[in-house]
A and B are shown apart, each in its own frame.
Chain A
Amino acid sequence: MNKLQANLCLICVTLCWSTEVIIFSCIPDGILPFATTVITSGIASVILLACFFKRIRQEMARSGKKLLLRCLLLGVVKAAYDILFLYGLNYFDVSTGAFTFCITVVVLPVILLTMKRDVSKKTWASVALVLIGIICALGGTLVNAQFLGLLIMFIGCTVRAFFIVKLNEYAKEHDPMTLSTWISIISTVLAFAIWVVLQPSTFAAIPWSGTVIASFFIYAYFIVAFAQTLNIFAQKRATAAGATIIYSLEIVFSLIWSYVLPESLIDRMTPSPYHVIGALFIVAGSLIEIVEFKSRRVRIGIKE
């Protein structure tokens, strides 16, 4: 996989994540997010294990305990930022809250600097554009937003940035398929522990229906098994900062879905001019990161 291919894969991952809203609209509000994580990550784990058992076994024989500990760290960190986002988003309306996810783009290069890693000028330029986009989109709501909500989202984004940096590091060292499978397994176990505490009746509390089961499977295929695995494969070739800038496109895709898809699938909304301008800045920031400015001759010379 070369850099262009890795970037395309990251755009696809972001696209899959942006469809979460559509899938969630098919899942009744009464179902806890932890229940969704348990079931969808569980299904994804089974699929990945069944399809790539031999490969996973080989990687486990090679890396063993070290890999398990790293996956445990990633699983715990992922659960932590998921919970923070879950509670942080209560302070914002849907469209504004989605923009706050992009704060990760700004936080991540700072984390990289504290870890004494290089961040290119191109990345800083992209980050600046994305930041302008976030400020435009949040506009007046940023001033009126409750401090606690912003603080929770900021901490969530910082934890997520740490997750991305570590995932990027581990993806270059371990088999992405094995990493993806173990992250799914650990997410299932952690979410189940929280689910049991919040809703002891667990599976019995879910209003099972064809639509609910289908939605769980769709989520498991595309958001967990496919997007998560593709993401780790792409991270092998991409930088953490570059990947995060591309992730910020999620809000752009979400805005497009809310405008384009029929009402039978999604709650339609008309984005405000501030949201559109903000989204355009985010697209510009991502394009700077994606487009290769080197000459054609130099590009051909790179070993792919």
Chain B
Amino acid sequence: MESKNKRFQQGFHTAGIFLALVVVYLVLAVPFRVMTVIPGFTEIRPVQLLKPVYGVFFGIPGCFAFAVGNLIGDLLGDSLRWSSIAGFAANFAGPFVFWLFWSRVSKTPFALRTGGDLLKQLAATVASGAVEALLITPVVMLVYADVDAGLFAATVFLNGTVFPLLLGIPLMILMREEFGFRPCANRHAPL
């Protein structure tokens, strides 16, 4: 009974964090709808800075929050289309790559204190951006033939790499070093 209560409390706590993460995502994402690159499809998305943060510090709930946040953003921005399904998968996969990298691939725990750590983060970011572009672009090409696939893929990849690198890394440094956030992505954490 006690363990059931504990599991319920844990579930409640995780749901609370999930909701808070979705709200933070939306608060950051919605204003940027005015900075459109391809109307209805892509805009400048600094909210992508949250991608490594959600993956590394909040694990799988963070990955889901990122994907759900993006879906709700599409809904609010009147850009919910068939490609949003691929968008959901890609926006889950983006932070998941960071979680997977720091918990399964890297032999050292998450840190951004040396040049080596930063190179690892760079590699994870490029992989994450590439995975996102590879997941969304073919679907958009299939469903919307009139969209410039090259520009679309480049925008998705650049959004998925530039912001996590330039804004995400400093934010993670701040969270880890000054606010004491502990990375969820540990090598021995359960899947």
Contacts from A to B (Cβ < 8 Å): 1-2, 4-5, 8-9, 12-13, 15-16, 22, 26, 176, 210-211, 213-215, 217-218, 221-222, 226, 230, 233, 262, 264-265, 304
Contacts and interface: CB of A to CB of B under 8 A. Distances in A.
B23 interface: no
B174 A233 contact: yes
A5 to B, nearest CB: 5
Given A8-B169, A15-B166, A15-B167, 8 more contacts: A4-B113, A5-B112, A12-B170, A213-B31, A214-B33, A215-B34, A233-B174, A265-B44
Contacts of A13: 170
A230 B37 contact: no
A8 B173 contact: yes
Interface string B24-47: 000010111111110000001010
Closest 6 CB pairs of A and B: A214-B31, A12-B170, A217-B31, A1-B177, A214-B34, A9-B170
Contacts of A1: 173-174, 177-178
Interface string B171-187: 10110011000000000
A9 B118 CA distance: 13
Interface size class of B (residues with CB under 8 A): 20 to 34
A222 B46 contact: yes
30 contacts: A1-B173, A2-B113, A4-B113, A4-B114, A4-B115, A5-B112, A5-B173, A5-B177, A8-B118, A8-B173, A12-B166, A12-B167, A15-B166, A15-B167, A16-B167, A26-B35, A211-B34, A213-B31, A214-B33, A215-B31, A218-B32, A221-B28, A226-B167, A230-B171, A230-B174, A233-B174, A264-B36, A264-B37, A265-B35, A265-B44
A19 B164 CA distance: 16
B81 to A, nearest CB: 21
Nearest to B167: A12
Nearest to A212: B34
Interface of B: 28, 30-37, 44, 46, 112-115, 118, 166-167, 169-171, 173-174, 177-178
A204 to B, nearest CB: 23
Contacts of B170: 8-9, 12-13, 230
Contacts of A264: 36-37
B31 A9 contact: no
B189 to A, nearest CB: 25
